[in-house]
A = this chain, B = another copy of it.
Amino acid sequence: MSEEWELNKSSSVPLHQQIYDYMKRRIMNGEWPVGTRIPAQRELAAKFQVNRSTVVYALGELSADGLIDSKVGQGTVVANNTWSLLAAASPPDWNRYVKSGSYQPNIQMIQQINQAEMNSNMVRLGTGELSPALLPTDKMKEMFHGSLENKFTLGYSEPKGSLYLRERISRYLHTKGIQASPSSILIVSGGLQGLQLISLGLLHSGSMIFVENPTYLNSIHVFQSAGMELFGIPMDHEGLRTESIGRLKRQHHAALLYTIPSFHNPTGGLMSSQRRAELLTVCTQERLPVIEDDVYGDLWFDTPPPSPLKAQDRQGLVLYMGSMSKTLGPGLRIGWIVGPEPVIDRLSDIKMQTDYGSSSLSQHAVAEWLSSGLYEEHLARIRTELKYRRDYTIAILVQHYHEFAEWNMPQGGFYIWLHILRPISMRKLFERALKEGILLNPGNIYDRHDQQHLRLSYAYASLDQLENGLIRLAELIRQNLQ
């Protein structure tokens, strides 16, 4: 449950006593109210890195005190905290509250991944982030030291976000062929929040959203938690296939189409210029608005991707999303949505009701990076690094995976969509790899029915980790082929 408390193994206080004290404190403080489920003995033993017998001893003492109680089928729960006797009333039934919210919990595998990512020794072969070594931490510090005279504020920014930042994003978008005034741009706390605002602000429960199959959207619950449905449309080597969109739109009354044309998550694919034109044409004809997620677009290797859909959109059909999370640092939590001004006005109003805007420190930092040219310099550096990492990874795959897998050769972004050619239990593979400290992103996160793919990312792990992790993973896959 908690990640920060640790046993003091050099203390003279016995380990079981330390565990007893720790758990009793949690119970007496109300941090673990009556009714809270205590983790299983083996989980606790793993967490504290002690023998199971030590845990059993500590739990026995708590039980003897009447503080916890084991019930068949319910596991061990907090039964009493002595205060509850004084108050002559049990606490609120938090378990019921936790199950009441409209928001679905994260899918279990994602929760496991989130947990495992807190372990800094984990070899993360699928993580969709830049390696900490590629993030420009020192330069960021220099930047804060530098030219802050005029624009720095600790107050709230404008409803659509700092005007200074939106002006810089407007210029930056101009280099991609997108004409957007600052008032058609909304600053958001990352792409995920952008999607949430669209879900809350523009769609109603029951709306259908067309997506690529597989898609990043299946790994999050933004639309599903609001009662919306995703409908997967197949892809080929040029990207989303467009020929059936018209028919499907009329059949299913789709409200939106979501696409990642450049360096797709999870497949790494790149939509061709021709396909982009076809997609825009059919969506215009069908009056089907498009969310264009372009968070990887700056991360090309040899040539820039074809220009965004938004650059050709004269009708105001496309809501375009960009972000600093994949390039400058996810911790900044800064992204943007570009769209027709009445739509941006609506999303901005909801943003104000949701969190009163994004961090002014982060907004200032991004504006400075864009206006100083530091951002372009940084992009040039990480393009080179990522390309090197791609080649390094592909070389390992060629040597160790050719017998049982196929893959794409990404032209940018983070991802290789590894296709395992023979039947395998992905769940087992995931669990076994995790036990050995290797964290995977199985394909079923992005397509519920998928059992044959892994999303590999060459962006996060160190080169050593990539090499050792991928070689070990190849062995694990061979052992688990059915």
Contacts and interface: CB of A to CB of B under 8 A. Distances in A.
Interface stretch (A219-227, A433-441, A472-480): A219-227
Nearest to A82: B314
B317 A287 contact: no
Which one of A97, A343, A345 has the highest number of Cβ atoms from chain B below 10 Å of its Cβ? A97
Nearest to A220: B353
A406 interface: no
A251 interface: no
A424 interface: no
Contact of A361 (B87, B98, B365): B365
A7 to B, nearest CB: 15
A377 interface: no
A341 B102 contact: no
A81 to B, nearest CB: 7
A342 B36 contact: yes
Contacts of A284: 87, 89, 91
Contacts of A183: 1-5, 31
A152 B329 CA distance: 12
A33 interface: yes
A315 B159 CA distance: 40
A232 interface: no
Q: DSSP class of A's interface residues: helix, strand, loop or mixed?
A: loop
B189 A355 contact: yes
Contacts of A5: 181, 183
Interface of A: 1-5, 25-26, 28-34, 36-37, 81, 83-84, 87, 89-95, 97-98, 100-103, 105-106, 111, 114, 118, 129, 132, 135-137, 140-141, 144-145, 148, 152-159, 163, 166-167, 179-184, 189-190, 192-193, 196, 199-205, 207, 220-222, 225-226, 255, 284-285, 287-289, 313-317, 325, 328-334, 340-343, 345-346, 349-350, 352-362, 365
A199 to B, nearest CB: 8
11 contacts: A31-B179, A36-B340, A91-B284, A100-B202, A100-B207, A102-B200, A190-B355, A193-B354, A196-B355, A331-B361, A334-B359
A100 B140 CA distance: 41
A124 to B, nearest CB: 12
Nearest to A359: B359
A116 to B, nearest CB: 12
